[in-house]
């Protein structure tokens, strides 16, 4: 029962994206991230569990994270 990362992979084993999901509710949320590595880095940059953020707060944190990646 935690926030996990779900990634999609196409038929050529290429990662197409990653998202957060709650293993308790089965609910996916947050931005579509490039891959598991980016999702793990973003999650680590957050002070709290991603499920604790409002949609607006998570979006703001995502923008800050992307700007720091550049």
User: For position 12, what pLDDT does the model report?
Assistant: 76
The DSSP result for the chain, as a single string, is --EEEEEEE-TTS-EEEEEEEETTTTEEEEEEESSHHHHHHHHHHSSS-GGGS-HHHHHHHHHHHHHHH-
What is the tens place of the pLDDT at every residue in 12-33? 766 679 999 999 999 999 999 9
pLDDT at 62 exceeding the cut of 70: yes
What is the tens place of the pLDDT at every residue in 32-48? 999 999 999 999 999 99
Mean pLDDT, the chain, integer: 92
User: For position 49, what pLDDT does the model report?
Assistant: 95
């Amino acid at each position: 029962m935690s926030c996990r990362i779900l990634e999609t992979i196409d038929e050529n084993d290429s990662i197409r994206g990653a998202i957060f999901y709650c293993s308790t509710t089965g609910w996916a949320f947050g931005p579509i991230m490039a891959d598991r590595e980016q999702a793990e880095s973003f999650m680590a940059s957050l002070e709290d569990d991603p499920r604790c953020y409002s949609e607006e707060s998570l979006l703001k944190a995502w923008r800050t994270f992307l700007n720091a990646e550049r």
